Amino acid sequence: MENDCQTTNGMITRRPTTLIAPCGMNCRLCQAYIRDKKPCPSCRGYDSGKSKSCVSCKIKNCEKIAKGNLKYCFGCDTFPCAKLKHLDNRYRTKYGMSMIDNLENIRRFGIRHFIRNENVRWTCPECSGRWSPKFGQCGKL
């Protein structure tokens, strides 16, 4: 299993690449990940501290992902599957973002390029805080 932590100046932090879920979700944008009380450790983190719905996520627990055969859904021969299409439709409708587009960008340009673009896309131009697609505003406002 890939080490999902790095040490910088004595501080342990999660590697940015492990904060991108198999479905293409950027966990750094998720309200469960950024909340102050009992934050979620991210989709690729340990299940301790996650909500029941996150622990039982059908995409994260997909046999090919769970066994470590695939890191992202785009590597699957059924991509995009019905589960991913359903999630993608929900996020497009509610938050104006697409898991399928995210995965296509990761496949085309690589994870590091995707993360750089995500950092620009979801940074508040006023305060440089993290922009929330769920609330349509900066998390610091």
Sign for the pseudo-dihedral over CA of 41, 33, 129, 19: positive
Domain boundaries, the chain: 5-120
Burial environment of residue 104 by CB neighbours within 10 A (0 to 12, 13 to 18, 19 or more): middle
Helix (H) or strand (E) run with residue 7 in it: strand 5-8
pLDDT at site 136: 60
Tokens of 70: 């695939």
The 10s digit of each residue's pLDDT in 76-133 is: 999 999 999 999 999 999 888 899 999 999 999 999 999 999 888 888 777 777 766 6
